[in-house]
């Protein structure tokens, strides 16, 4: 009889702490805005470098500038950022289990007709004793990407041989426009 108010109090405290600790809509909005700011910057540098040095010259932009942008955005925002892909070029872009599951879901949704551009997922994830907010935003394959991520006919011999030198285990070709090339992955400890 007297345990009921206590139980109620306990439940209220629990609910209060969950709400205070994880304001999920706010976390989602913040992660989305950090993730959305990065790709346009990369795209404009990529376009400049392609205009200047062709696709072969632009490889350096993707290789050096993209990680620098991610590091800068991480330092500025307090979120850890990186790029991931199910068919990665950089060996560091291999997704972990949670990221893999989300990327596979993105692929299924694109196959079912959803546009890749709008795909995202945010969630509170607990693993290895850590609670984090994690977020993935899909990076759609565009026409421009195909010179370095498309079919064997679309990737020139010069680009192919440079990619082979830099990424002997490259898996990131064979894409067509509209597919999910990868994602921007964010995480922050809660
Ligand atoms: C000039 C060649 C070139 C073009 C054009 C290009 N990429 Fe890449 N991409 C690369 C290289 C090189 C890497 C490996 C970068 C690194 O070492 O981190 C890469 C890596 C990536 C990654 C990280 C995951 C992985 O596979 O390592 C993503 C995501 C990606 N590119 C998406 C795109 C998208 C989307 C476009 C078009 C908007 C695009 N790329 C256009 C050369 C290119």
| Domains and their CATH numbers in the chain | 22-189 (3.30.450)
pLDDT reported for residue 6: 54
Mean pLDDT in order along the chain per 10 residues (190 residues): 52 45 90 93 90 89 88 93 96 97 98 97 93 97 96 96 96 98 96
Instruction: Give the chain's radius of gyration (CA, Å).
Output: 20
Q: Whose alpha carbon is nearest atom 38 of ligand 1? A: 145
State the pTM of this model. 0.89
Is the separation of the CB atoms in 187 and 78 below 8 Å? Answer: no
CA atoms within 13 A on the CB side of 131: 6
Q: Is the C-beta atom of 154 inside 6 A of ligand 1?
A: no
pLDDT reported for residue 7: 54
Q: Is the C-beta atom of 55 inside 6 A of ligand 1?
A: yes
C-alpha 87/C-alpha 110 separation (Å) is 16
**How many Å separate Cα 15 from the centre of its chain?**
31
DSSP string for residues in 51-90: HHHHHHHHHHIIIIIHHHHHHHHHHHHSSEEEEE-TT-SS
pLDDT reported for residue 53: 83
How many whole angstroms from 123 Cα to the centroid of ligand 1? 26
Is the separation of the CB atoms in 81 and 35 below 8 Å? Answer: yes
Is the separation of the CB atoms in 179 and 140 below 8 Å? Answer: yes
Q: Could you tell me the two tokens for 149?
A: 């991520």
Q: Whose alpha carbon is nearest atom 40 of ligand 1? A: 145
pLDDT reported for residue 35: 95
Is the separation of the CB atoms in 181 and 141 below 8 Å? Answer: yes
C-alpha 29/C-alpha 43 separation (Å) is 22
Query: In the 8-state DSSP scheme, what is residue 117?
Result: G
pLDDT reported for residue 12: 45
pLDDT reported for residue 19: 44
Report the atom number in ligand 1 closest to the C-alpha of 85: 24
| Strand order across the 80-84 sheet | 80-84, 180-189, 130-140, 120-127
Q: Could you tell me the two tokens for 85?
A: 């892909």
pLDDT reported for residue 13: 47
Is the separation of the CB atoms in 88 and 182 below 8 Å? Answer: yes
């Amino acid at each position: 009889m007297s345990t009921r108010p206590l139980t109620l109090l306990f439940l209220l405290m629990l609910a209060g702490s969950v709400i205070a600790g994880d304001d999920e809509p706010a976390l989602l909005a913040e992660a989305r805005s950090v993730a959305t700011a990065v790709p346009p910057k990369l795209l404009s540098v990529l376009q400049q470098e392609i205009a200047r040095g062709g696709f072969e010259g632009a490889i350096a932009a993707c290789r050096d500038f993209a990680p620098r942008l991610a590091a800068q955005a991480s330092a500025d925002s307090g979120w850890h950022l990186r790029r991931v892909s199910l068919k990665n070029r950089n060996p560091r872009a291999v997704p972990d289990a949670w990221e893999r599951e989300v990327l596979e879901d993105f692929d299924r949704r694109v196959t079912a007709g959803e546009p890749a551009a709008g795909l995202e997922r945010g969630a509170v994830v607990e693993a290895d004793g850590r609670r984090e907010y994690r977020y993935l935003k899909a990076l759609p394959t565009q026409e421009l990407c195909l010179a370095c991520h498309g079919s064997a006919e679309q990737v020139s011999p010069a680009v192919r041989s440079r990619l082979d030198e830099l990424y002997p285990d490259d898996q990131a070709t064979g894409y067509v426009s509209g597919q999910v090339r990868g994602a921007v992955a964010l995480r922050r400890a809660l």
